[in-house]
Structure 1
Amino acid sequence: MSALSATNKYLFRYKWHFLGGVLFVALSTLLAIFPAQIVRYAFDLVSEGIDLYHLYAGTEAQSSVYKLFGRNVLLYGVLIILLAVLRGIFLFYTRQTLIVMSRLIENDQKNEIFQHYQSLPLSFYRRHSTGDLMSRISEDVGRVRMYIGPAIMYFLQLVILFVLIVPLMLMVNVKLTVYTLLPLPILSVSIFYINNIIQRKSDEIQRSLAGMTTFVQEAFSGIRVLKSFVREEDSHQQFTVASENYKEKSLSLNFVNSLFFPLILFLVGLSTIITVWVGGQEVIRGTITTGSIAEFLIYVNLLTWPVTALGWTSSLVQRAEASQARINEFLHQKTDIVSHRNVERAIQGDIVFDHVSFTYPDTGIQALRDVSFRIRPGQTLAVIGNTGSGKSTIAALLCRLYDVTQGTITVDATDVRDYALTSLRSQIGYVPQDVFLFSDTIRNNINFGLDNPSEERMKQAAQDANVYDNIVQFPEGFDTKLGERGITLSGGQKQRVSIARALVKEPRILILDDSLSAVDTNTENAILNSLQRVMENRTSLIISHRVSSVKLADEILVLDDGQIVQHGTHEALMADTDGLYRALYERQLQSEEA
């Protein structure tokens, strides 16, 4: 239960729901016990009434006995119905307090986990799969909810029932009580083990279903690749195998479920038979009445479900503990990307990298080695180099998605680690290398970074990104709904929408990380000409492996294996016949001519 102690703060937050639930459980339990005693009185009344009726046979008193008997039976019947109605009302409020509390806590916990997820650095997401993150915020939270709601509710019912019913049963007859309760622990232990088997098989089914769902999702997302390689039949065979595996696991679970309820009915029936058998012997001896047998039978039925639920809830608590431990594992991970001084101010864009080295914490790969350069406000710097030279790492460090291993990065003479993260990032327009668009309208994708978007700024950004003409040709224009990850658009259109999303913020620093790789040369020239106006009054960083994309830059950095090997203007770098920049230029020029 140590892991589940993390949920105590939620129980305290909703303490009135919890205390109200305890009260309603107690009241509904009391109202379930009273009818058993009324039934005992009614049975005894019937037995005595029949004897009296025959005793006064042939006399006027016989009709009086009959009337009195009828009135009392009717009274007991009305009382039982009234108590049942009241119990139903309290049971309703029991679920409206405890179960509603569990749903509220589930909602709070999901929000807390999601908020915590967003605060963690990129290195966290590189270490964990999306499926694992999703399972902890959905399945694991759901299992914790089952502990907070049903498990606590049924445990309270069991405790209150035992505290109230067992003393009443012992007061009537100790021997009958012992024999009556004897099968119930066996029932609880059996349910515990069977439920563990059911839960294990359910987990296997969930994993099988998750694997099958992932396979289908990938097949549909990559349908163009499947068709182009003519792998439909192979894909279908793989799906058939996965589906067959899911079917076998489902049938196995169904077999165990088929044993579940017969076992419950058998043990409950056994307890009932023992009650009637032992109780009948006690009636013959005269130690109890027939009404007591009826009372005991009601008690057995009242105890059956809570005792059954004890095994079930024990399993729920075990699973909830394991799930909460998994949740705590993530919640205890803290981000190291925190602001030292929370500086919030408008920036001009004077960027300095001072002997910066960086090693990725999850892989141990050193991406940058002693990199130093400066971009003055309003200046455009291009970073070019082969794949894996560390170009994108510069953009990630400037946005403070990671912190440098050595050296410092300053913006306007202030260390980026001193800026408030929201203040720094809100003034940077970042177009990442891996374009991601949401399954939403083009309008909402472009305006993603704005709280109060305007139509004019959105259209101007689209024009600057050279995607406006494409958008207005769609039947619904800017309200066109994009498919998953923007699959509705071509690669070049996705990149240009991503550029528009960065430009609409009117950022002080603009970072284009290989954002023109999917467009042709003519479109690239049109976008660069449009961006020339946008870049006039803001600091810009263009990262590319194509020489044609960096022609607008005031200065060019050439990276190779994480180090600066050349630094200068286009003309100066071209003059170095043995330099990497000229080699890249000539290689790409030959490729274009070919």
Structure 2
Amino acid sequence: MKHLGALGKYFWKYRIRLGAGILFVALSNYFNVLSPQLMRFIVNYVDQSLVLTGNAARPGGSGFGAETRGYDVLVKKIVDWVTRYNSIARVVFIASIVILVLALLRGFFMFLMRQTIIVMSRHIEYDQKNEVYNQYQRLSGRFFKSHTTGDLMNRIAEDVSRVRIFTGPAIMYIVNLLTVIILSVFFMVQSSVELTIYVLIPLPVLAVIIYFVNSNIHKKSEKIQAALSDLTTNAQESYSGIRVIKSFVQENAMFNFFSVNSEHYRKNAIALARVEAIYFPSIQLLIGISTLFTIMIGGLYYIHHEHNITLGTIVEFIVYVNMLTFPVSAIGLTASMVQRAAASQKRLNEFLDIVPEIKNETGATPLQLDGSIAFNAVDFTYPDTGIRALQQFDLKVRKGEKIAITGKTGSGKTTVAQLLLRMYDADSGAVVLQHHNIRDIDLYALREQISYVPQDVFLFSDTVANNIRFGKPGASMEEVIAAAEIAGVAREIDGFEKGYDTMIGERGVTLSGGQKQRISIARALIKESAIIIFDDSLSAVDAKTEKEIMGRLNAYLDERSAIIITHRVFSLLSFDRIIVLDEGKIAEQGSHDELMKIPDGFYARLYHRQQMGLGTEEPTP
């Protein structure tokens, strides 16, 4: 239950709706509990009238005035009004109309109750999903490496929905339960203390059952949520990797794996359903016993003229008991809702309480970048793998310089881009932009001024134009086309049936690898940033298209600082310097001509292999 304390800020935000909802619940139940009192009056009035007109004593018959005790003030006024009429039929008719009016009032306030509490829960759901999504975007890449997509989707969808059930229906049921019990028991005691005690005897037994069953429900709910996360992850990975599954003919293996997870979820869900299947009928049984006590004991009191019990009192208590049936039986349902919500909120709190590793430092300010970059004795080790990516790395990039970074796989090339975008922070040393430590620059202002083409291309399920425009929201169609032309993909886009309005499948599944890379390049180019980073972004492009793109990039990159991470040697793009990395250190650096003069150098061997058409695999030292 303590985990649900995190919802306090939402209840305070919507305190007016919550307060109004509680008031409407109370009013709805107030008008509801008046009906049994009027029924008692009608039965006693008719019983008394029949005794008087029959001129004979009837067991239980009594004067009307003796039965006014225990009535609500409003009921007394209604009784005083209707008894002015001498006709039994008229009194019964008017009293019945009043009961109907009370029912309509109850229904009206129930409508207002749902319009406040249930609508409040939807607002809280909206706010909470936004909070969860915002936290997802604030967390660092390390978090996403240790959490599956299916689990994250389950938290923002299933867990938030379970919490909404608590902030809406569960809150409504709890308030309804308390007001019904308080009002009903109050008027029952006013009518007959002795009969009330017998009627309420089963309730302590009910409380004990709820206490022991709730802990069991909570444990099973947590297991169900965990199993559902595994199931969702399994399904999501299968959908994303369907082409790999089919190409390796692993459909049966993946289905069997899914079946195991599904069976685990099924068993946990059935175990919970079995507990609830015993729980709810037990509550109904206890309610039935209360009704039996009312009829049996009340009937004996009436026959023996004890404790002023009348026929009307018995009818009143039967109505009260039935009125309590749903709220009391809903204790189990409500307890289940609360326990499931607590389990879900606990899962949400686990990562909502995580402080992002990468965030704006105190005093960080926006800075207009000019393109100058410096890595000063930078050391960095990936925290999740322990791999030391950079060691005492020094690199100076002046404004407008074009730097190529090459090296073997795992030499630290991509890490340079990750540190420059501040996806990670250096363990020691400093990354400096325009004489300012990168940690002193506003994080969002920093990333807004750097264009980045990642090695792992990601496209959204949207139109081609909107995927390019993602780099500059609000960009005109002319800007989109111009960026596509520089990236060398405009001609192919024009060949699509719907051109730039063509919808791209999930992760760009409808496009070739080269097309995806070039659309990703266009997305970066449209930003027109002072710094641009290409991370092996032309690996899927043929030689002819590569020459076309590099020729256009020469003009585009003028006055811009560029870092191009690659396994290839781009002869058409003149680099100011070429950096060769090996095990996180600079092994070679210089111009193309300078590096070609190094005997048996990495760069020279790579260049010769490429010229001979042997590919771009790193040569063996």
Above 0.5 in TM-score?
A: yes
- The answer on whether the counterparts of 2:373 and 2:433 sit within 8 Å (CA) in structure 1 is yes
Q: 1:343 to 1:234 in 2, by over 3 A?
A: closer
Measure how far apart 1:504 and its partner are: 0.7
Amino acid at match of 1:294: V
Decide which moves more: 526-535 or 154-163. Answer: 154-163
Residues 1:221 and 2:221 are matched in the alignment: no
Q: 2:224·2:265 contact (CA, 8 Å) conserved in 1?
A: yes
Letter in 1 for 2:189: L
2:203 paired with 1:173: no
Partner of 2:4: 4
Tell me the residue number matched to 1:541: 563
Kindly tell me: are residues 8 and 206 of structure 1, through their superposed partners in 2, closer, same or farther at Cα, counting changes over 3 Å? closer
Residue number in structure 2 paired with 1:399: 421
Contact 2:202 2:289 in 1 (8 A): yes
Aligned residue number for residue 97 of structure 2: 78
> Please, which moves more after superposition, 245-254 or 103-112?
245-254
- 8 Å CA contact 2:376–2:431 kept in 1: the answer is yes
The amino acid across from 2:164 in the alignment is R
Between the aligned partners of 1:114 and 1:549, the Cα distance in structure 2 is 44
1-side partners of 2:477 and 2:566: how far apart?
31
8 A Cα contact 2:85 2:91, kept in partner: no
One of 149, 152, 157 as aligned partner of 2:168: 149
| CA distance in 2 between partners of 1:409 and 1:236 (Å) | 48
Paired position in structure 2 for 1:60: none
Partner of residue 430, structure 1: 452
Alignment pair present for 1:281 and 2:297? no
SS of 2:466's partner is helix
Q: 1:183 maps to what in 2?
A: 202
**3-state SS in 1 of match to 2:556:** helix
How far apart, in 2, do the equivalents of 1:397 and 1:310 lie? 55
Match of 1:510 in 2: 532
What CA distance in whole angstroms lies between the structure 2 residues aligned with 1:405 and 1:19?
51
The corresponding residue for 1:98 is 117
- 1:25 touches 1:157 (CA, 8 Å); kept in 2? yes
Instruction: State the alpha-carbon separation in 2 of the partners of residues 311 and 228 from structure 1.
Output: 50
Residue aligned with 1:401, SS: coil
Give the match for residue 65 of structure 2.
Answer: none
Shift of 1:406: 1.1
Q: Number of residues paired by the alignment?
A: 588
Partner of 1:42: 42
Moved more, 130-139 or 397-406: 130-139
Relative to structure 1, is the Cα distance of residues 138 and 65 closer, same or farther in structure 2, using a 3 angstrom cutoff?
Answer: closer
Per the alignment, residue 590 of structure 2 pairs with 568
Alpha-carbon distance in 2 for matches of 1:380, 1:576 = 21
Matching residue's letter, 1:46: V
TM-aligned CA deviation for residue 214 of structure 1: 4.3
Query: Are 1:329 and 2:367 matched, yes or no?
Result: no
In 1: Cα distance, 2:397 partner to 2:590 partner: 12
Q: Which residue identity lines up with residue 562 of structure 2 in the other structure?
A: S
Q: Distance in 1 between matches of 2:137 and 2:335?
A: 34
CA contact (8 A) 2:279 2:332 kept: no
1:430 match: secondary structure: strand
Distance 1:563 1:293, change over 3 A: same
Whether the aligned pair in 2 keeps the contact of 1:513 and 1:544 (CA below 8 Å) is: yes
Report the more deviating stretch, 193-202 or 329-338.
Answer: 193-202
* Deviation sequence 1:118-172 (CA, Å, 0-9, x none): 2222222223222333333233322332332222222222222233222322233
Greater displacement, 424-433 / 231-240:
231-240
1:475 aligns with 2:497: yes
Q: How far, CA to CA, are the matches of 1:213 and 1:146 in structure 2?
A: 21
CA distance in structure 2 between the aligned counterparts of 1:209 and 1:246, rounded to whole angstroms: 6
Matches of 1:137 and 1:210, distance apart in 2? 11
Are the structure 2 counterparts of residues 107 and 65 from structure 1 closer, same or farther at C-alpha, using a change threshold of 3 Å? closer
Moved more, 488-497 or 411-420: 411-420
Q: Deviations over 1:430-478 (max 9, x none)?
A: 0011111111111110000223211111111101111111111110111
Once residues 451 and 348 of structure 2 are traced to their aligned partners in structure 1, the CA distance between those partners, rounded to angstroms, is 34
Q: CA deviation at 1:23?
A: 1.0
Alignment partner of 1:529: what SS?
helix
Q: Which runs of 5+ in 1 are unaligned?
A: 57-63
The 1-side partners of 2:256 and 2:9 are apart by: 50
Query: For each residue in 1:323-382, what CA deviation from the matched residue of structure 2 results, as whole angstroms up to 9, or x when unmatched?
Result: 333333322222243145433343210111111111223333221111111111111001
Contact 1:339 1:417 in 2 (8 A): yes
Counterpart residue type for residue 339 of structure 2: Q
After superposition, the Cα gap between the structure-2 partners of 1:396 and 1:10, relative to the gap in structure 1 and judged at 3 Å, is: same
Looking at structure 2, the residues matched to 161 and 236 of structure 1 have their Cα atoms a distance apart, in angstroms, of 51
Aligned-partner SS, 1:592: coil
* Cα displacement (A) at 1:234: 4.2
The answer to whether 1:134 aligns with 2:153 is yes
Deviates more, 1:492-501 or 1:128-137: 128-137
Q: Contact 2:154–2:232 (CA<8 Å) still a contact in 1?
A: no
Moved more, 95-104 or 577-586: 577-586
The answer to whether the 8 Å contact 2:609/2:615 transfers is no
Q: Which residue in 2 is equivalent to 1:293?
A: 314
RMSD value, Cα: 2.8
Does 2:330 correspond to 1:309?
Answer: yes
Compared CA separation, residues 556 and 246, structure 1 to 2 (3 A): same
Q: Cα 1:453–1:66, aligned 2, differ >3 Å: closer, same or farther?
A: closer
**Aligned-partner SS, 1:138:** helix
The question of 1:21 aligning with 2:21 is answered yes
Is it true that 1:447 corresponds to 2:469 in the alignment?
Answer: yes
* Partners of 1:156 and 1:232 in 2: CA distance: 51
Q: Which moved more, 1:159-168 or 1:387-396?
A: 159-168
CA shift for structure 1 position 407: 1.2
The secondary structure found in structure 1 opposite 2:614 is helix
Q: What is the CA deviation profile of residues 260-298 of structure 1, one whole-angstrom value per residue up to 9, with x for unaligned ones?
A: 554343332222111111111111121200111111111
Contact 1:368 1:562 in 2 (8 A): yes
**Which residue in 1 is equivalent to 2:51?**
51
* C-alpha spacing 1:219/1:106, structure 2 compared with 1 (3 Å): closer
Matched, 1:124 2:146: no
The Cα of 1:543 is off from its aligned counterpart by 0.4
CA distance in 2, matches of 1:316, 1:46: 45
In the superposition, relative to structure 1, how do residues 227 and 587 fare at CA in structure 2: closer, same or farther (>3 Å)?
same
Distance 1:550 1:163 in 2: 85
> Counterpart of 2:144 in 1: which secondary structure?
helix
Letter in 2 for 1:83: L
Tell me the SS of whatever aligns to 2:423: coil
Kept in 1: contact 2:551–2:573 (CA 8 A): no
8 Å contact from structure 1 (residues 192, 312) kept in 2? no
Corresponding residue of 1:59:
none
* Mean CA deviation greater in 489-498 or 39-48: 39-48
549 and 162 in structure 1: CA distance in 2 versus 1, 3 angstrom threshold: farther
Q: Quick one: which amino acid aligns to residue 122 of structure 2?
A: R
Aligned to 2:385: 363
Which residue number in structure 1 is paired with residue 550 of structure 2? 528
**CA shift at 1:209, angstroms?**
5.5
1:343 aligns with 2:365: yes
> Cα distance 1:375–1:171, how it changes in 2: closer, same or farther (>3 A)?
same
1:551-562 equivalent positions in 2, closer than 5 A: 552-562=574-584
Q: What residue in structure 1 maps to residue 61 of structure 2?
A: none
Cross-structure match for 1:61:
none
User: Contact conserved, 1:337 with 1:403, CA < 8 A, in 2?
Assistant: no
- Tell me how far 1:210 sits from its aligned partner: 5.2
The answer to whether the 8 Å contact 1:192/1:314 transfers is: no
Distance 2:280 2:403 in 1: 73
Q: Which runs of 5+ in 2 are unaligned?
A: 57-82, 617-621
Deviates more, 1:80-89 or 1:263-272: 263-272
AA partner of residue 41 (structure 1): F
Aligned-partner Cα distance in 1 for 2:150–2:32: 46
